[in-house]
Structure 1
Amino acid sequence: MKTFYKIFLILFVLFIGFNFYAIDWRAGFFDEENTKFIFSLSSGILGIIVVYILHTWSKLAEKK
């Protein structure tokens, strides 16, 4: 995995960890106070998926 992908992977994992810590679990998952953390958490998960897709595409390009 290239260094570029590793940096973004680490950043997305840190964002996800922070958002899990910041969510108020007693208030409820879909509470109005938690929506900003839920959106940020989902964008971090989506970012990790995109990093793995880009990594796979770069490996496919190297084989050709």
Structure 2
Amino acid sequence: MKTFYKVFLILFIIFIGINVYAIDWRSGFFDDENTKFIFSISSGILGIIVVYILHTWSKLAERK
């Protein structure tokens, strides 16, 4: 995996960890205060998926 992808992978993992820590678990998962953190976590997961797709595409381009 290229360094460029590793940097973004680490950033997304840290981003998800901070948002999981910030959720108020006592008020409920889908509380109005927690929805911004839920959306942030989902966008971090989507970012990780995109990083893996880009990494796979770069490996396919190198084979040709």
Which of the five TM-score ranges fits, normalised by the shorter chain? over 0.9
Unpaired runs of 5+ in structure 1? Answer: none
Q: Aligned residues, how many?
A: 64
Secondary structure of the corresponding residue to residue 8 of structure 2: helix
Q: Percent identity?
A: 86
Instruction: Give me the TM-score of the superposition, normalised by structure 1.
Output: 0.98
Instruction: Give me the TM-score of the superposition, normalised by structure 2.
Output: 0.98
Runs of 4+ more than 3 Å apart: none
Residue 30 (structure 2) pairs with residue 30 (structure 1): yes
> Alpha-carbon deviations, 1:17-49, whole Å to 9, x = none?
001100011110000000110000000000000
